[in-house]
């Protein structure tokens, strides 16, 4: 983990490798740690930068703007600080929405776009996240995500596992994200971020009608066919909306393909980069 100060606020990021740059953007309530299984493999051929977005992980959690546009600006500033002028931008879940906003605002920085189980491509979303966006949740979360409650749930999970009860393959990553909400500052930043893109009806921000503006940009979509948070139908719809895009659907995989099937994701990414030229400036 490395750290840099941007506009008076600390940004944490992981960086490894050399060569063509890859910018990896994590999802809601996540952190750069979500890329732990793919970063070592990717860094053998590329310069990989994986930041903790503001409000997440070890980055600062200011009382400020947590919109997609604000995230995109902070990522541009980070690339400038690191001397990176162009990158293949990879975003997962919320990070996909941030990645699309980044392309929209800072197109000249983008060589390719990779969306993994991406948000921002339709309204459908898990009931849990829709409920968490509701007014008054900030009064409930400190109780249901408190450390004593999490400790009890962890013990129960360990008991079920030892009893041979297996949970879905993406459950560990979802639980890690939920556990992060035991911290007050992280919880406040999470709610600001969530409410900037989600309401009780689902995702409130969609890029599907602006995807045509990415003409000429190589686009790859990766989805798990068992995604319980954002349905794979969004991947098919985006693929149909963007001529020349590539869609890879992984069987038996949930919302975190890069965690659940890292080797397949690395191979797909590597092939995509090898078979597409970067978008001309």
Model confidence pTM above 0.85: yes
Q: Is 227 a catalytic residue?
A: yes
Q: Is 43 a catalytic residue?
A: no
Taking the C-alpha atoms of residue 14 and residue 232, their distance in angstroms, rounded to an integer, is: 29
Question: Helices 137-144 & 184-197, crossing angle to 10 degrees?
Answer: 140
Length of the chain: 281
What pLDDT shows up at residue 214?
Answer: 74
CB atoms near residue 113 (< 10 Å): 25
Closest CA to 123 of 248, 233, 257, 253: 233
How do beta strands 219-224 and 110-116 pair?
parallel
Residue 249 and residue 235 in contact, taking contact as beta carbons nearer than 8 Å = yes
Taking the C-alpha atoms of residue 141 and residue 191, their distance in angstroms, rounded to an integer, is: 10
Choosing from 56, 234, 255, 258, which is the catalytic residue?
A: 255
Phi, psi of 246 (to 5 degrees): -120, 130
Q: Is 183 a catalytic residue?
A: no
Residue 112 and residue 219 in contact, taking contact as beta carbons nearer than 8 Å = yes
Taking the C-alpha atoms of residue 134 and residue 218, their distance in angstroms, rounded to an integer, is: 37
What pLDDT shows up at residue 115?
Answer: 98
Choosing from 31, 32, 74, 93, which is the catalytic residue?
A: 93
Taking the C-alpha atoms of residue 40 and residue 25, their distance in angstroms, rounded to an integer, is: 16
Domains of the chain and CATH, by start: 2-125+205-275 (3.40.50.1820), 130-198 (no CATH)
Choosing from 227, 234, 245, 261, which is the catalytic residue?
A: 227
Vertex 277, ends 274 and 281: CA angle to 5°? 145
Per-residue pLDDT of the chain (281 residues; tens, 9 = 90+): 999 999 899 999 999 999 999 999 999 999 999 999 999 999 999 999 999 999 999 999 999 899 999 999 999 999 999 999 999 999 999 999 999 999 999 999 999 999 999 999 999 999 889 998 988 988 887 877 767 766 766 666 666 556 665 666 678 888 788 888 888 999 999 999 999 999 989 998 888 877 777 778 999 999 999 999 999 999 999 999 998 999 999 999 999 999 999 999 999 999 999 999 887 77
Three-state SS at 93: coil
Three-state SS at 12: strand
Annotate 120-133 with DSSP letters as a single string.
Answer: SS-S---HHHHHHT
């Amino acid at each position: 983990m490395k750290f840099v100060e941007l506009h008076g606020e600390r940004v944490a990021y992981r960086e490894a490798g050399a060569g063509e740059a890859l910018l990896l953007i994590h999802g809601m309530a996540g952190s750069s740690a979500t890329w732990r299984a793919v970063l070592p493999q990717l860094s053998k051929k590329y310069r990989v930068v994986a930041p903790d977005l503001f409000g997440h992980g070890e980055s600062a959690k200011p009382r400020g703007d947590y919109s997609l546009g604000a995230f995109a600006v902070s990522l541009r500033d980070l690339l400038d600080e690191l001397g990176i002028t162009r990158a293949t931008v990879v975003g997962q879940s919320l990070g996909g929405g941030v990645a699309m906003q980044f392309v929209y605002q800072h197109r000249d920085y983008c060589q390719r776009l990779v969306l993994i189980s991406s948000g921002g491509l339709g309204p459908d979303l898990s009931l849990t996240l829709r409920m968490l966006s509701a007014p008054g949740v900030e009064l409930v979360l400190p109780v249901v995500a408190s450390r004593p409650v999490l400790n009890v749930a962890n013990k129960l999970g360990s008991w079920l596992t030892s009893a041979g009860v297996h949970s879905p393959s993406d459950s560990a990553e979802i639980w890690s994200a939920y556990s992060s909400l035991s911290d007050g500052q992280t919880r406040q930043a999470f709610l600001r971020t969530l409410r900037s893109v989600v309401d009780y009806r689902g995702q409130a921000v969609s890029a599907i009608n602006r995807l045509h503006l990415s003409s000429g940009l190589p686009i790859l979509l990766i989805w798990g066919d068992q995604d319980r948070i954002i349905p794979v139908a969004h991947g098919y719809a985006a693929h149909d909306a963007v001529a020349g895009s590539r869609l890879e659907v992984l069987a038996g995989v949930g919302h975190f393909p890069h965690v659940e099937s890292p080797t397949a994701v690395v191979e797909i990414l590597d092939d995509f980069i090898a078979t597409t030229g970067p978008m001309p400036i």
